[in-house]
A = this chain, B = another copy of it.
């Protein structure tokens, strides 16, 4: 059950080695007639190479492993998709495992993957790295896509949150806003402080004085956004726009505004961050900055395959820029959609990612 090179050799009248060369090594000098004949026979017999045998011989599997904390996390599927689209162009396959934020499971996953079915590993949204002795000594290259644990580390691809926050603020300023509030992310989170820094930097760049009264601590959740917004509405000289550090808090702020009798965006503009699916579904649709998840995955895959080809050569942390998706919550004219931060290379896919969610079946 499974045609082998030997059978093809017998059927075609050539030796196994010639058959192998004809079929898998386009550069090897094989008589054109021979090659054609062999290819023909192979096709007719339905030959499918036995990858196990090939891997055993060549010590490479054309497969990489992806270890994700949880494939159910909102950002993980697009990261994986980004990885896979790159892999497909290079005839690689991906083995995917969840670690469930558990170092032990992650260690298991690493061990399972090291046992050779893979040539390298990408950690997608990993919140930590299990003691990687095994990994290191395996000599297999690995890369982080959207590394979640705080410290900067080589071989990782992360979002440029500073840039993204500035993008959001700049949009608001462009719309005429001067009193722009911010609802921050949960304290202690790397992305929370980066987004806040980006907010401050852009205010400065626009010559707008920073007003501490316009900054509220949030918690990444709907509730935090809601209550932070209520506080902001009560400030002596209230903001005309709010930048929420994520979409969930932006939604909370929108609902708070509505409950307070304010119209969004007419009375107050609100911009979110992350480009979560629901920002296209709620009313008003939320203007937001995307997490460049697809691109991070794509880039991580590119770097990993590079390492697999050329051997380990650590690279510095790479930051990927998101872009602004103009929708309804800021009052901007949607038709003149800006594409700041858009990398033409992945445009088509990006548009795909911004498409309306699939109807369900």
Tell me the bound Cα distance from A278 to B279 in angstroms. Answer: 10
Known: A95-B93, A97-B84. A358 touches B74 (CB 8 A): yes
Which residues of B lie under 8 Å from residue A219 when comparing CB positions? 359
Cross-chain contact of A94 among B56, B95, B137, B247 (Cβ < 8 A): B95
Contact with B along A68-83 (1 / 0, CB 8 A): 0011111111101100
- Produce 1/0 per residue, A243-276, CB < 8 A to B: 0001110010001000000000000000000101
One of B1, B96, B148 near A361 (C-beta < 8 A): B148
User: Whose C-beta in chain B lies nearest to the C-beta of A291?
Assistant: B360
How many copies of this chain does one complex carry? 2
Interface residues of A (CB under 8 A from B): 1-2, 46, 48-53, 55-56, 61, 63, 70-78, 80-81, 84, 91, 93-98, 111-117, 125, 134, 137-139, 148, 186, 189-191, 219-222, 246-248, 251, 255, 274, 276-278, 281-283, 291, 353, 357-361
B281 touches A222 (CB 8 A): yes
> Given the known A-B contacts A51-B117, A283-B255, are A93 and B74 also in contact in the complex, defined by CB atoms under 8 Å?
no
A72 touches B61 (CB 8 A): no
A81-B72, A96-B96, A278-B282 known; A52+B360 contact, CB < 8 A: no
Question: Do residues B52 and A116 form an inter-chain contact, with CB atoms below 8 A?
Answer: yes
Partner of A50 from B56, B94, B360 at Cβ < 8 Å = B56
Asked whether B358 lies within 8 Å of A73 as measured between CB atoms, the reply is yes
